[in-house]
Amino acid sequence: MPVLFMTAEAPAISGTQMLIALGIGIAILIFLILKTKVHAFLALIVAAVAVGLIGGMDPNKTVSSITSGFGGTLGSIGIIIGFGVMMGQIFEISGAAERMARTFLKMFGKKHEEIALSLTGFIVSIPIFCDSGFVILSPLVKAIARQTKKSVVGLGIALAAGLVITHSMVPPTPGPLGVAGTFGVDVGQFLLWGIILAIPMALATLVYAKWMGKQIYQLPDEDGEGWIRPPYQAPVYDLTSEDKGHNLPGTFVSFFPLLLPIVLILVNTVTAAMGLKEGIFSILKFIGTPVIAVGLGLIAAIYMLAFHTPKKVVMHEMEKGIRSAGIIIFVTGAGGALGQVLRDSGVGNFIAEQIAQTPIPIIILPFIVATLVRFVQGSGTVAMITSASITAPIVAAAGGNMVFAALAASMGSLFFSYFNDSYYWVVNRMLGIEDTKEQIRVWSFTSTIAWAVGFVEILLIGLFV
């Protein structure tokens, strides 16, 4: 039968074209955010369109990538953000946030609030995504800042850094777990070395957090809806005194709505890692899903903390929380859209494959590849897993240490979090940081400090392994 039509293959997109598209897209994004009145949400979408079209993607595919990236990002954390900010409002009106702040300070002692928050994040994010953990724990930051007069910036950086470091380094968080599997290393060894190498990174970011708390002195305002920047003042430590004129809820009742989703998500993670799926474990898996777990925490907060508060007041406060979450949700989704276009355009893989062909020391290779992929497309999890998939066969063939190579891939994923990383927007927006230069100082520099310490650690390991 004669061939009536010949389907021509689409011309291959050159690496040079993809790199040009990436450069133009980043330039457009930075220009729109820094030099025009265009909002970050629109700027991110415009940059995504530019990268897709200039990079040679089909227009329909570009639109599809933007919508799927936006929806995929919000599908994972959008509902959690909404639930989290509503829970935070209930903590505020019930006095639970103040009770938590008092208990927290009594537990860890005066002058150690940043250490307490960093350690909390360090532990909590081992089983939980850092985005979810920051949303759940951010009311503590706000409450401690209000009570001690310490800048919310320093406190928030300490918490956010503690969360993201173990999120990137320690299984059973999905990213490190996937890297361990790709490299074929023992998860127990990976976990142990991940914790050991994560400690210096957390200490370095803790020092930076304390310094930034004095550089950007910002506090919650009186009604809790905004932020103020008064002249810097020394911290106030009078929380260990008895409550005066306050009818605060008890410690257990105050912490329960916060701990409930953390415990449920932890149980879900552990049972999944053990391969337990039948019977009661299927129920635990369902209620341990982050969206369900945080939703149950919100319900617990409503009925345990706001039980005696009039319905109209409770509804008003939760709607206030939803309004404040709107901008966070939209900007976070737009960052996900840009990241998806960068992934679908192939530019991240192209750069990674070029680096993999160079004579770079073998243990450094996964670190560099993860660093470049992270910078290009934003997602730390995607960066470390992409690096692992490309470099694991090379490391194995060269006889390199697979455990430390896997850890190098995880460390590289911490590099310079910026516009296309959803966690960048979650941290900055929930801390009330709106100026772009300040956002970079608050979070981009923090993540890069952790990355730099990791790089030094990998260099030192390379001398002995």
Euclidean distance between CA atoms 30 and 243, whole angstroms: 49
When the pLDDT of each residue in the chain is averaged and rounded to a whole number, the result is 84
Closest to 317 measured CA to CA, from 94, 70, 47, 65: 94
- Stronger pLDDT, 228 or 136, i.e. the higher one: 228
Which of 204-208, 282-286, 417-421, 422-426 holds the top average pLDDT?
204-208
- Average pLDDT of 222-238? 81
**Lowest-confidence pick of 4-18, 48-62, 114-128, 291-305:** 4-18
Per-residue pLDDT, 238: 62
Per-residue pLDDT, 13: 65
Neighbours of 252 (CB within 10 A): 10
pLDDT at 451 over 90: yes
Closest to 366 measured CA to CA, from 332, 322, 398, 321: 398
DSSP 275: T
Euclidean distance between CA atoms 214 and 212, whole angstroms: 5
pTM over 0.85: no
pLDDT tens-digit profile of 142-177?
Answer: 888 988 899 999 999 999 999 999 999 988 777 887
Please state the domain extents for the chain. Answer: 21-229+248-464
Contact in structure between 175 and 387 (CB atoms under 8 Å): no
Which of 83-87, 122-126, 226-230, 392-396 holds the top average pLDDT?
226-230
Q: What percent of the chain has pLDDT over 90?
A: 29
Contact in structure between 376 and 417 (CB atoms under 8 Å): no
pLDDT tens-digit profile of 243-252?
Answer: 444 578 888 9
- Average pLDDT of 448-456? 98
Euclidean distance between CA atoms 265 and 284, whole angstroms: 9
pLDDT at 10 over 60: no
Euclidean distance between CA atoms 342 and 336, whole angstroms: 10
Euclidean distance between CA atoms 369 and 105, whole angstroms: 41
What pLDDT band is residue 62 in, cutting at 50, 70 and 90? very high
